Amino acid sequence: MAWSGKVRRHKYDAQRTVFDGVSYDSKAEATRARELNLLEAAGEIGRWKRQVPVELVKGFSCRVDFLVFSTDNTSEHFEDVKGMETQRSRDIKRLWAVHGPLPLVILKRKGTGWTREIIQGKPVV
């Protein structure tokens, strides 16, 4: 089958965006990566990783957008950028409240800033 030349749109109209040589699933996610770079350069966070897999229960895992470390490089929290809430994201929030290893901060764009929803999780002792 030959390529038709049509670009397939994301089902939620997210636009893949490249920042610093890395492709992100949406402009909002790329914007947050840029902000995390600035926070790291300013010394407000230690470092961060992207697309971190987390198994919440046996057989159910998710990939969180960012894992943010504090300045002493201990794990601080996970961040997930959301544009639209789906049944899967509701399931993840519900499971995270019971099984999440660290707090999960769900970020949604609001104007030039973010709204934050924090799900604490239950760290393993």
Asked if 82 and 108 touch (Cβ cutoff 8 Å), the reply is yes
Residue 16 or residue 31, greater confidence: 31
Domain boundaries defined on the chain? 17-119
Kindly report whether the global pTM for this prediction surpasses the value 0.95: no
What is the arithmetic mean of pLDDT over 14-21?
72
- On average, the pLDDT of the chain sits at 85
* pLDDT value for 123: 67
- The model's pLDDT over 44-101, given as tens digits with 9 standing for 90+, comes to 999 999 999 999 999 889 999 999 999 987 779 999 999 888 899 999 999 999 999 9
Architecture of domain 17-119: 3-Layer(aba) Sandwich (3.40)
Beta strands in 47-123, from DSSP E residues, in sequence order:
47-57, 60-69, 75-81, 104-110, 113-119
Burial class (CB in 10 A: 0-12, 13-18, 19+), 53: exposed
